[in-house]
Amino acid sequence: MVADGSDRAPLDRLTRVAPLDPMVLASALADAAAGIARLDQALAGHPLAQAFLHRARLEAVRRMAAVDGQLIDPWHLAATIEGLRLRMDPYLRIIDRGEILETAKFALTLHQWIAAPDFDQEGEVQRAEALLAMQPVSLPPLIAAAQGFREWIEAGETRPAMRSAMIRFWRKRQLLGLPVPLTGAASLRSGQSWDHDDWLPVFLRAIAREAADGLDLLHTMERIWFEARRGMAGRRKDSHGAPAVDLLAAAPVLSATTLARILGIAVKNAIRILDELLAAEIAVEVTHRSKRRLFGLKGLAPLRDVVRPPYRPDPTRGRGRPRHPIAAEDTEIAPPPLPPLTPIERREFEYSALEEAMAHLDAVIRRTRHVLARREPDTPPVSEPSPKPLKRV
């Protein structure tokens, strides 16, 4: 072994950049690697992989925006994507609407960074990728990404480019087969120590949590989607009920207008389909608006946290203020994660229209981003060309 230590083993080289207690780093690294491996195995060849990526990106965007000081409610983000005017409350001030609008712009810009960066953004992402590629090959990919992330931030560069570069880095180093948005956003929360020994395990644990949340989301999506598609069994082959369920499985919320545009049907027919799904308890209606109702697939996060039954006056109630009911949410225990489907269950249904539906949902996000860029907080939405309807299957 030479004096400068150039021939040391990779573990020795890792120890030089590790915390004083190597077991803390080793435990965090093992948890992150195991979480990513489980998620990658579950996504391999999964028919809902693209739908998962759509929802996972929106969740990642919301998580990153919150860490960057732009907290956005999941319903506000979903409603903005739907092109709704941000009048969530009759007493909402113009300044509050403007703040929500700016936050939505910021969130959708983050989505653009990780999903489809423009020319200038792509140049920044490639610079960040080059920095990650310069990390020692002997380092585990998770440690190398963390080291590159620190160097990038300490150089005064912006976060979105490196986050997008890390998503690509995971694939190049064969940690993931799909561009799952794992960015360790929680490691950059306000008040988090930036000391290397403190920060590195926090970053790895944040990656592990994001991977575990992604796996839970995938299993929940497929179970809820499976039950919803099973509820549509026996309908005509030319019925639009099954494609509607597929879209609801992918989109956090969906309006009848968007559903009609994507499926190429009349809005009144889309409303009829959604009302049928409501009656069958397959879908739920999201409140906060009295017009242009929004719907989601029952049981899918993040809707579980924001869905409330729409207000309907009770004609049988007498005069006076009603009693305040005990909130069920205060005592309700969160349900355990749903088990994954078996391969036999996954083969029961037709998936051919799902990828095309995902392309249309991505087009809706792009259109909304362009509209927000040209809007002032108190101006109505700008009409944009609609995506072409889906072909019948």
Q: What is the pLDDT of residues 158-186, one digit of tens each?
A: 999 999 999 999 999 999 999 999 999 99
Which residues, listed in sequence order, are joined to residue 55 by a DSSP beta bridge?
Answer: none
Give domain limits for the chain.
14-217, 220-311+338-373
- pLDDT value at residue 187: 95
| pLDDT value of residue 6 | 44
Q: Determine what percent of the chain is predicted with pLDDT higher than 90.
A: 34
- Residue 133 has a pLDDT of 95
349-372, pLDDT tens digit by residue? 555 556 666 777 777 788 788 777
Look-up of token digits 């490196």: 162
Q: Under a CB-based contact definition with an 8 Å cutoff, are residues 205 and 28 in contact? A: yes
Residues 128 and 105: their CA atoms lie apart, in Å, by 23
Question: 340-346: which pairs have CB atoms within 8 A and are 24 or more residues apart?
Answer: 340/42, 340/218, 340/219, 340/222, 340/223, 341/222, 341/223, 341/226, 345/226, 346/46, 346/47, 346/222
Closest C-alpha among 301, 304, 294 to residue 270: 294
Mean pLDDT per 10-residue segment, the chain (393 residues) = 43 44 89 96 88 89 91 73 56 63 86 92 96 93 95 95 96 94 94 91 96 92 83 69 82 83 89 89 71 76 44 53 40 52 61 66 79 59 44 47
Contact 207, 31 (CB under 8 A): no
| pLDDT for position 134 | 95
Q: Residue 251 has what pLDDT?
A: 78
Residue-level pLDDT at 130? 96
Q: Are 125 and 161 in contact (CB under 8 A)?
A: yes
Give residue 96's pLDDT: 64
Q: Which CATH class is domain 220-311+338-373?
A: mainly alpha
